[in-house]
Amino acid sequence: MSQSSKNISTVAPDLRSRIGNVEFKNPVLVASGTFGYGAEAKDYCDIEQLGGIVTKSVSWKPRVGNHPHRIVETPSGMLNSIGLANVGVHTFVKEKLPYLAKFDTKIIANIAASSMEEYRDVLELIEQNAVENLAGYEINVSCPNVKDGGLSFGTSVERTEELTALLRQSTDRLLIIKLTPNVTSVAPFAQACERAGADAISLINTVVGMAVDIYNREPRLSTVTGGVSGPAVKPIALAKVYDARKASAIPIIGIGGIITAEDAVEFLIVGSSVIQVGTANFVHPDAGVRVAKGLEEFLRAQGIAHVTELVNSLKVRAELKAAGW
């Protein structure tokens, strides 16, 4: 341990993290679709200890989502095909946002839609009803479980760029584009978001997957395929974050299989400024708080004064970098 780290080890580490002009009290957010709209988890989780909450994807009209079965457990993860079930943006601004305004933490509203105009209209309605702790928007262009939207944007660099530029005109709050791992490389998508004025990208959404009932020989999900999440996807997510980090300077929100503080540290080192905890919330609804506390302990034990020292600190040998790794 260095002399300077000995000096700081008794002082509480600084977990404050920043994207654009927004400061989060720590870099641990909860991921869209895994924490409802906050109320669902409030009895089990001290929400104010989270850096922020990303709300369930909201669309213009309410959606009931896909037929059951919509969830299958998989080794080290889960497969879901919820299909963007949500209350619709009018109920969101009338009931859900005012409830979330009570908490001393940042709120990011996640939006899903099937056309450019719908994304814009949902964002603008939320903007007109914004509450003080609304930090910004996460734009879901990466849901693999619906036919009409999501991935049809998120697998086209041109449409991702066009949508980002359009939405940029409607808000000065954080504009975060949530990318899919279901493409060969996320690099051109990261660059497109940066060009079009996004404040950050978040990745990954779920990885397309499938499960089969071997007795009746039917798919186990009503939609045949769904999205895999949880620890099984963490190595994929880390590689995608690294791919985006090498290709652009845009801030990254790392997501995918984060269960422990050590998982979060990996994402920070690879280049994420903040991270999101998703599937782990279904095991422990306070998983995000556990990760934030664990992160503080890790920093203290390692004599690291500011969590930001970890961000983008991956050591890759020069010859490997030169060879494109």
Ligand X SMILES: Cc1cc2nc3c(=O)[nH]c(=O)nc-3n(C[C@H](O)[C@H](O)[C@H](O)COP(=O)(O)O)c2cc1C
Residues designated as active site: 143
Residue (66 or 80) nearer to ligand X, CB:
80
> Could you tell me if 275 and 29 are in contact, meaning their C-beta atoms sit under 8 angstroms apart?
yes
Shortest reach from residue 286's CB to ligand X, in Å: 15
Shortest reach from residue 192's CB to ligand X, in Å: 18
Shortest reach from residue 56's CB to ligand X, in Å: 5
Q: What is the DSSP letter of 37?
A: T
> Could you tell me if 20 and 200 are in contact, meaning their C-beta atoms sit under 8 angstroms apart?
yes
Residue (66 or 248) nearer to ligand X, CB:
66
CA atoms lying within 13 Å on the CB side of residue 37:
20
User: Bridge partners of 106?
Assistant: 52
What the block records as the tokens of 213 is 């009932």
Residue (255 or 261) nearer to ligand X, CB:
255
Q: What is the DSSP letter of 58?
A: B
Shortest reach from residue 235's CB to ligand X, in Å: 11
Binding residues (CB under 6 A) for ligand X: these are: 31-34, 56-57, 78, 80, 82, 84, 110, 140, 143, 178, 204-206, 229-230, 233, 255-258, 277-279
Residue 229 amino acid letter = S
Q: How many CB atoms neighbour CB 65 within 10 A?
A: 15
Burial classification of residue 302, based on how many CB atoms lie within 10 Å of its CB (0-12 exposed, 13-18 middle, 19 or more buried): middle
Residue (178 or 220) nearer to ligand X, CB:
178
Helix (H) or strand (E) holding 162: helix 157-168
Q: What is the DSSP string of 238-269?
A: HHHHHHHHHH--S-EEEESS--SHHHHHHHHH
Shortest reach from residue 145's CB to ligand X, in Å: 8
- 232/234 Cα distance (integer angstroms): 6
> Could you tell me if 213 and 72 are in contact, meaning their C-beta atoms sit under 8 angstroms apart?
no
Residue (53 or 255) nearer to ligand X, CB:
255
Shortest reach from residue 260's CB to ligand X, in Å: 12
> Could you tell me if 182 and 208 are in contact, meaning their C-beta atoms sit under 8 angstroms apart?
yes
- 272/293 Cα distance (integer angstroms): 18
CA atoms lying within 13 Å on the CB side of residue 43:
1
Q: Using CB atoms, what's the residue nearest to ligand X?
A: 33
Residue (59 or 171) nearer to ligand X, CB:
59
